[in-house]
Structure 1
């Protein structure tokens, strides 16, 4: 299912979020922009109805892919994003552990 998840990015000068709606339920990953080269992922919210379907993982991977494409780094303050980044050593090129 994770491959079918359409994620959009909403961004302001100070931050933004990655968001998806699956089966009528909205899930999001929010971030703050420290500077043009650094964001802090501070929250991941996935409704109970979507848990275990790879939605949070899809949001995290989208953030990593976006960071690679944009040339910035991620500080994973959100517990979910931090746990994912520790599991995915291949994200080390864009994830900075605090």
Structure 2
């Protein structure tokens, strides 16, 4: 299976909704963190990682990409998904990005 250093995160979507996506060779389904924008806030509403990708930090990499984009692009995040909410609890330095 692919080494975690070989992971590429793709961004899909537009101004109103989107996803951060990881596809790995040999794995049929993709990992994703989806979001919808409302009133200038990105609502992180779902994180999914296929069984074949679990235990490799894939979900954390998706959240890290969302956080990096928020810092770069200046939006805030509503962690509606339980995984993203947990990541915010574990990273109090992200509090300035929480809507």
Indicate the TM-score class for this superposition, using the shorter chain for normalisation: 0.7 to 0.9
Deviation, 1:38, is 1.1
Q: Which is higher, the Rg of structure 1 or of structure 2?
A: 2
- Counterpart position of 1:30: 34
5+ residue gaps, structure 2: none
5+ residue gaps, structure 1: none
1:9 to 2:4 alignment = no
* RMSD of Structure 2 on Structure 1 (CA): 1.5
Q: Quick check: 4-13 or 71-80, which moved more?
A: 4-13
SS of residue matched to 1:92: helix
User: Normalized against structure 2, the TM-score is what?
Assistant: 0.87
SS of residue matched to 1:23: coil
Tell me which protein shows more strand as a share of its residues. 1
User: Normalized against structure 1, the TM-score is what?
Assistant: 0.88
User: Partners of 1:2 and 1:59 in 2: how far apart?
Assistant: 12
1:50 to 2:53 alignment = yes
